[in-house]
Structure 1
Amino acid sequence: MMKPEQAQLWAEMHMKHLEMLQGVITRMAGNSASLKNYCMTISAAIIGLAAAISRPEILYYTTPLIFIFGILDGHYLRLERAFRDQYNSVRRSGIKECPDFSISPSWTAGHGIFSGLFSWSVWLFYISLIVVFLVIAVLMPG
């Protein structure tokens, strides 16, 4: 039988563990949003540069850069999902056992390498940006 003080202490420890995991999840989501922001900023600067020097072919060469941002964004989304799974696992665990304070992504949920990359929030954003780049490159006088 667990003493009431021990049960209260372990409940508080579970809450702290969940707070720590929530902090990691929040950072992953923030990093993903920052990558989209950086990609948009760099893309706007490259479009401005291409227009200023009348060289639309520059836009074709920056497509790999957009792909790299997309891959990084997909990786952060994959990590965020894996940490959410660990959060849910800790949340479901009872207070009868002492938490181990492990903070590592849970890869048991089938989060493959490309699972984040093929999310609509990643591919739709970056593919749309590439299409915009290509349309501007075709329409830009040079």
Structure 2
Amino acid sequence: MSAMSDSPNKHKHLEFIQAAIGRMAGNLFLLKGWSITLIAALFALAAKDAKQGYILIAYFPLIIFWALDGYFLCMERRFRALYDHVRQLKEEDIDFSMDTGPYKGELRNSWAAAMLSRTLFVYYAGLAVVMIVLAICIR
């Protein structure tokens, strides 16, 4: 018999945590799609109506989506830390807790660290640069 089949509670707990990680990753994907869609729509309005105000307004969703993406990435990292902790527990120590609080203190799991992660920084800073170039071209 495998070690995992000897640990049905651990296996189920890890499934719960993995489902939460999957939801966080799905939210990250959706936010990136919505950010591009909304910003593109605002730029289309700016180009159509020749109003620079739409371009300025487009920076607000950029910042908001960046912050939301950072939040979901930091939560995903905390759930990954919880997963790593639970996988090392003995069967009798499984309590099905989904509390990620103990992992908040780790610098990597902070909101700021997530917002400045390579993936989010390159995506949103790159998007900001593209927005600046488009704003110059629209003028």
Structure 1 residues 64-90: Cα deviation after superposition (integer angstroms, max 9, x where no partner): 220111011001000000000000100
- Alignment-mate amino acid for residue 92 of structure 1: Q
1:107 maps onto 2:101 in alignment:
no
Distance 1:8 1:49, change over 3 A: closer
Normalised TM-score (structure 1): 0.86
Structure 1 residues 54-109: Cα deviation after superposition (integer angstroms, max 9, x where no partner): 123421232122011101100100000000000010001122x2410001223253
Name structure 2 gaps, 5 residues minimum: none
Distance in structure 1 (CA, Å) of the matches to 2:106 and 2:57: 37
Kindly report the root-mean-square deviation, in angstroms, between the aligned alpha carbons of the 2 structures. 1.9
- Alignment-mate amino acid for residue 112 of structure 1: S
**Whose relative contact order is higher, 1 or 2, with alpha carbons under 8 Å and at least 6 apart?**
1
Distance in structure 1 (CA, Å) of the matches to 2:115 and 2:27: 15
Name structure 1 gaps, 5 residues minimum: 1-6
Higher relative helix content: 2
Structure 1 residues 14-45: Cα deviation after superposition (integer angstroms, max 9, x where no partner): 10000000000000010011111100110111
Q: Which residue does the alignment assign to 1:25?
A: 21
List structure 1 segments (4+ residues) > 6 angstroms apart after TM superposition: 7-10
Normalised TM-score (structure 2): 0.88
Instruction: Work out the percentage of aligned pairs sharing the same amino acid.
Output: 33
- Alignment-mate amino acid for residue 128 of structure 1: G
Rg (Cα) greater in structure: 1
Aligned residue pairs total 134
Distance in structure 1 (CA, Å) of the matches to 2:11 and 2:118: 32
